[in-house]
Amino acid sequence: MSQIQLWTTVFIVLSFGVYMVIAWRSRVRETEGFYVAGHGVPTVANGAAIGADWMSAASFISMAGLIAFLGYDGSIYLMGWTGGYVLLALLLAPYLRKWGKFTVPEFVGDRYSEPVRSLAAVAAILISFTYVVGQMNGGGIVFSRFLNIDIAYGVMIAAVIIFVYAVLGGMKSITWTQVAQYTVLITAYLIPAVAVAQVMTGIPVPQVSFGQILNGLNELSAQLGLEVFTDPFTSRPMVDIFLVTMALMIGTAGLPHVIIRFYTTRTVRGSRYSAFWALFFIALLYTTAPAVGAFTKFNLLEGVNGTATDDLPAWVDNWAATGLVTVNGNADVINSVSNDPAAGADLTVNNDILVLASPEIAGLPAPIVGLVAAGGMAAAMSTAAGLLLVISSAASHDLYFRYFRKTAGDRERLMVGRIAMAAAIVVAVVAGINPPAFVAQVVAFAFGMAAASFFPAIVLGIFWKRCNAVGAGAGMAAGLVLTVGYMLYTLEVFGLQANDHVLGISPEGIGAVGAVVNVLVAVVVSKMTAPPSRYITEMVEGIRYPAKRLEPAEEGGR
């Protein structure tokens, strides 16, 4: 066993052991504890858990890699995801926490109608499935490289661990496990970033020092056939940059697995303070990611530029074994590098390896390499657990309990939720082994679906009393159908042939268009049909104004 494998095994076994102990000590037997942790999570802990839930495998593993190859255009992920979190924290989270309950579809059902609730539950399952595929694939990549096993087996191992601790304690277990996972992932992200910054620039603050290498990085990129790192709009047209950023932003504010985290605090005030702490915890990684992308790309290109294929650095052979790095068999010397297998470059490097490979590329010691691997697993598992809980709650609480067994008790509802979680994991494993794109791109598709479905329905539900059930349902259906249909049209999935983008709009950006369609349809249909009942309008006022108190609906009041 190599030093890297040894240290990776040590860190993963230790961290997984901590997660399992927390899960066992946090196990629950009632639905309130399973779905919202009994509304009893302290503010700072909830902020750390939100941070872990937020910073998925896409953030930890893939985002810096995309920034490395997209350069300036990769800022869409930074602007979209961070801006969207601020939008969620300030615009929606406090109102939803005041309303209470368990799930986002439950709010939609109370605000509009039961049929719209069912549509929201289906949308939540679809979005969460898409999102969790990226997390499973990210976990498989970590296991594949550092433990020398096939990606398929890595995905399965990650799925089993997630299932055990998510099923034991639901949201309560997931919350405290995510606090531990945040600690692991942020430590694993910052230590190598600080070390590389010190080695390359003499300044151990990556957010400040990475600017010193940009001129050299631009020159290396040009020599190896890549776009200049700091030039804008080289990989995407300007309109798509705008649409992808908007889709990620408003999709963030509509993600059910993030919104549900604000239900777990003790008070509405706690929800607001959780948002502050979460933004602080998220900023630690997000302000470091551009530096990680720039440093890693510089070290990568400098290490291979003009190098004979027989003399490439050891990390190339290590990652080539996973199939995520490929050396062109016809090349004697590396004169071109790409992240696109179809480009025919001398060296092809998958976006998703750059953060995980950065310590090896920079020549850092084996313990740091193992720590980064443990951090990647923590990021993938923390988000996957929250997504599986959304799928579980939508299936059991919003569908089964409402339509099949209204008399079901806590024990039966928990059993159905756990069965739904098991089924979701099986499907996620199959899709995670063969994802349709890079981890961050798969996640971006989920954000687009959330942007086109949940965000308009929630915003209109809180801030426009005239929006009715027919309008909201029609808007959600129109936005979601347009978005998913366009994704299927432009992606090579399910045996379908990929088609050219329409008007330069990528499948990651179509969610912004879907959101606009959702709002237009909802407004037009609501204006053409009867307004909501008085009870509904009073409920909306009760959510928006602190002086108002929500009263239970009288029989037939809706």
Q: Please tell me which of 117-131, 331-345, 414-428, 452-466 the model is most confident about, judged by mean pLDDT.
A: 452-466
Q: Is the pLDDT of residue 178 over 60?
A: yes
Q: How confident is the model at residue 23 (pLDDT cuts 50, 70, 90)?
A: confident
Share above pLDDT 90 across residues of the chain, in percent, rounded to a whole number: 16
| Angstrom distance (rounded) from CA 224 to CA 272 | 48
| Angstrom distance (rounded) from CA 558 to CA 197 | 61
Residue 325, H or E segment:
strand 325-327
Q: What mean pLDDT is predicted for residues 293-322? A: 87
CATH code, 3-25+44-296+364-433+440-544: 1.20.1730.10
Q: Is the pLDDT of residue 482 over 90?
A: yes
pLDDT digits (tens, 9 = 90+) for 225-274: 888 888 888 888 899 999 999 998 998 887 777 777 776 776 767 777 88
Q: Is the pLDDT of residue 385 over 50?
A: yes
Q: What mean pLDDT is predicted for residues 66-81? A: 85
CB 382 within 8 A of CB 53: yes
The pLDDT score that the predictor gives to residue 469 is 93
SS (H, E, C) 117-153: HHHHHHHHHHHHHHHHHHHHHHHHHHHHHHCCCCHHH
Q: Is the pLDDT of residue 475 over 90?
A: yes
Report domain extents, the chain: 3-25+44-296+364-433+440-544
From 178-182, 200-204, 376-380, the region with the lowest mean pLDDT? 376-380
The pLDDT score that the predictor gives to residue 471 is 95
| Angstrom distance (rounded) from CA 103 to CA 394 | 8
Which tokens belong to 272? 């607001």
The pLDDT score that the predictor gives to residue 510 is 94
Mean pLDDT, all residues of the chain: 81
pLDDT digits (tens, 9 = 90+) for 94-151: 777 777 665 678 888 888 988 898 888 888 888 887 777 777 777 777 777 777 777 7
Q: What mean pLDDT is predicted for residues 291-303? A: 90
The pLDDT score that the predictor gives to residue 558 is 40
Q: What mean pLDDT is predicted for residues 492-507? A: 80
CB 11 within 8 A of CB 147: no
Query: What pTM was computed for the model?
Result: 0.80
The pLDDT score that the predictor gives to residue 110 is 85
